[in-house]
């Protein structure tokens, strides 16, 4: 097989990391594995395996003829059979398919606001889906939405998966005291609900003043991030809540932490929780999206109601006060993640599915 992954950027985000994960993992399993970034590059470029054939399209607009021809030439030169388009990158794939009808498009839906799918309308996607050979959804809700809204019969659910880092970067030291750090890996977007985290940090600080919170994720320099910074200042937490922006060495920062949290209002299947498991960290996360599939019971972690401050604070307090519980939850989550969200089993099913689609089309 000859497959190329397409994504709009290589900035640090869930869909972007999955595009890189697929490209890297397939590099040792198929004849040709490629990766294309359409609009922007980013920190994840440093994680791309040398075996992956990479191209940056430098796309400037929705219909950029130069970018379309660059993609077309890449597909033709490398004899690509499948374009695996992630999120909004489907459109340029469709434009190329119009000129190269034999190309097969797989669309990967990473949509993270699964609680409001009834409001999700995209006519461009709806009409483009006539040209999709198959659709991958990262959770059951998205698969049901695709079945009801889109025009493609070959639907499948594949969970996100993680791969152990093969490239290591110099790690900076997190602020705070060793053994007393709580980390959150989430870009600064409203659905991640960092306000709950900061409010909880205030209550935790009053009881455990040496414990600190560390927020890792892209700052979009918008009103949301400005409000977060103001909230930290207002609550007198400038020496207890720290922002680091996007990083390319998440695992190394997780190793400096004791507890991991995710306070989202909405999720798909967050890679952050899988990363936490890989790092053997105990987790407190809200019960949204597919988080309960990663933390199926109280043995693997603590799940709380969405936007519930008292549950969040109480759960953090229990973990702070009980080191043996922290270690047990971290070890159990690590085992569960490796067993159920490892690359080998998911990539095997993925390739079998693609072969079955080819057989159907023939």
The answer to whether 84 touches 6, Cβ cutoff 8 Å, is yes
Asked if pLDDT for residue 168 goes beyond 80, the answer is no
Tokens of 112: 């993270």
Q: Is 15 helix (H, G, I), strand (E, B) or coil?
A: helix
Strands of 283-286's sheet, edge to edge?
Answer: 241-245, 212-216, 181-185, 259-262, 283-286, 302-304
Q: What is the pTM of this model?
A: 0.88
Q: H/E element holding 183?
A: strand 181-185
pLDDT, position 139:
87
The answer to whether 214 touches 253, Cβ cutoff 8 Å, is yes
Q: What percent of the chain has pLDDT over 90?
A: 87
DSSP string, 297-336: STTT-EEE-TT-HHHHHHHHHHHHH-HHHHHHHHHHHHHH
- Which DSSP category does 162 fall into? B
Average pLDDT along the chain? 94
Q: Binning pLDDT at 50, 70 and 90, where does residue 333 land?
A: very high
Asked if pLDDT for residue 276 goes beyond 80, the answer is yes
Asked if pLDDT for residue 191 goes beyond 90, the answer is yes
pLDDT, position 169:
62
Q: Is 142 helix (H, G, I), strand (E, B) or coil?
A: helix
Q: How far apart are CA 304 and CA 327, in angstroms?
A: 19
Asked if pLDDT for residue 167 goes beyond 70, the answer is no
CA distances from residue 42 to 67, 137, 258, 291 in whole angstroms, order as listed: 18, 25, 28, 27
Domains and CATH numbers, the chain: 2-163+342-361 (3.40.50.2000), 181-340 (3.40.50.2000)
Q: Over the stretch 43-73, which tens digit does the pLDDT of each residue have?
A: 999 999 999 999 999 999 989 999 999 999 9
Asked if pLDDT for residue 222 goes beyond 60, the answer is yes
């Amino acid at each position: 097989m000859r497959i190329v992954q397409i994504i709009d950027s290589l900035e640090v985000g869930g869909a972007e990391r999955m595009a890189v994960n697929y490209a890297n993992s397939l590099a040792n399993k198929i004849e040709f594995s490629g990766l294309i970034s359409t609009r922007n590059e980013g920190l994840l470029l440093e994680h791309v395996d040398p075996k992956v054939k990479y191209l940056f399209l430098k796309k400037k607009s929705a219909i950029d003829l130069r970018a379309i021809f660059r993609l077309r030439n890449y597909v033709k030169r490398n004899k690509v059979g499948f374009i695996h388009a992630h999120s909004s990158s489907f459109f340029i794939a469709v434009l190329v398919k119009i000129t190269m009808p034999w190309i097969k498009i797989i669309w990967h839906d990473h949509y993270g606001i699964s609680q409001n799918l009834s409001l999700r309308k995209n006519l461009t996607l709806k009409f483009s889906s006539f040209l999709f050979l198959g659709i991958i959804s990262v959770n059951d809700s998205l698969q049901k939405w695709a079945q009801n809204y889109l025009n493609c019969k070959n639907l499948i659910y594949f969970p996100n998966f993680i791969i152990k880092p093969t490239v290591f970067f110099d790690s900076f030291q997190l602020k705070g005291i060793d053994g007393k750090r709580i980390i959150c890996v989430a870009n600064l977007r409203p659905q991640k609900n960092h306000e709950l985290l900061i409010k909880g940090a205030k209550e935790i600080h009053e009881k455990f003043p040496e414990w600190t919170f560390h927020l890792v994720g892209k700052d979009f320099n918008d009103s949301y991030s400005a409000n977060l910074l103001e909230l930290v200042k207002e609550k007198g937490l400038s020496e207890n809540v720290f922002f680091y922006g996007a990083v390319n060495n998440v695992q190394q920062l997780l190793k400096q932490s004791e507890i991991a949290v995710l306070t989202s209002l909405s999720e798909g299947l967050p890679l952050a929780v899988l990363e936490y498991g890989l790092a053997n960290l105990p987790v407190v996360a809200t019960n949204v999206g597919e988080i309960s599939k990663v933390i199926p019971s109280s043995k693997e972690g603590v799940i709380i109601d969405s936007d519930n401050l008292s549950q969040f604070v109480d759960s953090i307090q229990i973990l702070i006060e009980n080191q043996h519980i922290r270690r047990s939850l971290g070890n159990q989550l690590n085992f569960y993640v490796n067993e159920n969200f490892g690359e080998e089993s998911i990539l095997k099913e993925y390739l079998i599915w693609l072969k079955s689609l080819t057989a159907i089309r023939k």
